[in-house]
């Protein structure tokens, strides 16, 4: 088996040359996952696209026609462990060498007002499903002597974050898992990378009920992430992410949490205004 990173030891090789002919991309129907899938297709990798979205088939057809690759489309809700297992089984016949675990979503607002069912679904998708995928494909990659695992973390995962406390906690899990696996699997020829972007302009904000100002493009995140695979443990994609991360890094964790809380307060200000307006309406006499 290989004892060095296939990417770092062969810097000029393509991702296909380093990891093999097939990649699995979860969360592939939109945002960062879709953009990474497009970048991998451009490099000539065959793709297994996994998501709940109805547009997945159209994306697969576009990538096949545009890049001459093979595509397998798997529609699955990865917050269900049985469907995670089904995806693994549906890939058993393929020479998979790369996993990009980009499926996930976030929530925002005061934790005590959160819908506990939705929070559990987020925990299952952001953490449990990701762990199961990393475990399954990590074992396959180690057995074949090479492979790559990309786990989508976040800038908010480096400290507690007011008004996104549970989402930030799920991303702290992802970050810590990636850091440990990077060292643990290095001797097996398997590269592991945590990608920890700041705000990204995708459908994420709408689902999380946040309104972003400055934000990264999915293309910036995708390209920086793939370029860093095999060369480092964590990538901070884009100038905005680096500015935020390096500004916060020297500060004590409690202060970083307060600062990030102010950022989140700005992104969720409309929630407070809406709640106040609704409360006033309910208080008016009939």
pLDDT for 31 equals: 93
Run means of pLDDT, 10 residues per run, the chain, 286 residues: 52 85 97 97 97 90 97 96 97 98 93 96 97 98 98 95 94 98 97 95 56 78 97 96 93 89 69 45 47
Task: Show me where the domains of the chain are located.
Answer: 15-283
pLDDT for 53 equals: 76
β-pairing, 96-101 vs 147-152, is: parallel
Catalytic residue among 19, 64, 171, 173: 171
User: What is the Cβ-side half-sphere exposure of residue 249, based on CA atoms within 13 angstroms?
Assistant: 8
Catalytic residue among 13, 64, 167, 284: 167
Annotation says 171 is catalytic: yes
Assign domain 15-283 one CATH number from 1.10.1370.30, 3.40.50.720, 3.40.50.11900, 1.10.287.70: 3.40.50.720
**Reported pTM:** 0.86
């Amino acid at each position: 088996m290989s004892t060095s990173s296939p990417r770092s030891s062969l810097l000029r090789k393509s991702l296909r040359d380093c990891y093999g002919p097939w990649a699995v991309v979860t969360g592939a129907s939109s945002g960062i996952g879709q953009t990474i899938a497009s970048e991998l297709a451009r490099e000539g990798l065959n793709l297994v696209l996994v998501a709940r979205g109805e547009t997945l088939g159209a994306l697969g057809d576009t990538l096949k026609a545009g890049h001459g690759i093979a595509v397998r489309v798997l529609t699955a809700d990865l917050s269900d462990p049985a469907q995670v297992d089904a995806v693994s089984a549906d890939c058993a016949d393929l020479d998979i060498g790369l996993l990009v675990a980009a499926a996930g979503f976030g929530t925002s607002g005061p934790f005590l007002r959160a819908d506990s069912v939705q929070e559990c679904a987020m925990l299952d998708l952001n953490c449990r499903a990701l762990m199961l995928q990393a475990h399954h494909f990590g074992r396959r990659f180690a057995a074949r002597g090479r492979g790559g695992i990309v786990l989508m973390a976040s800038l908010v995962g480096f400290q507690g974050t007011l008004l996104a406390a549970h989402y930030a906690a799920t991303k702290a899990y992802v970050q810590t898992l990636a850091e440990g696996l990077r060292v643990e699997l290095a001797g097996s020829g398997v590269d592991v990378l945590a990608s920890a972007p700041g705000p990204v302009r995708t459908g994420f904000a709408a689902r999380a009920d946040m309104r972003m100002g400055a934000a990264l493009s999915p293309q910036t995140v995708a390209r920086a992430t793939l370029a860093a695979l095999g060369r480092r443990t964590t990538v901070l994609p884009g100038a905005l992410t680096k500015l935020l991360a390096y500004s916060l890094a020297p500060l004590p964790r409690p202060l970083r949490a307060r600062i990030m809380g102010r950022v989140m307060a700005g992104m969720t200000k409309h929630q407070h205004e809406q709640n106040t307006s609704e409360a006033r309406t309910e208080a008016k006499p009939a």
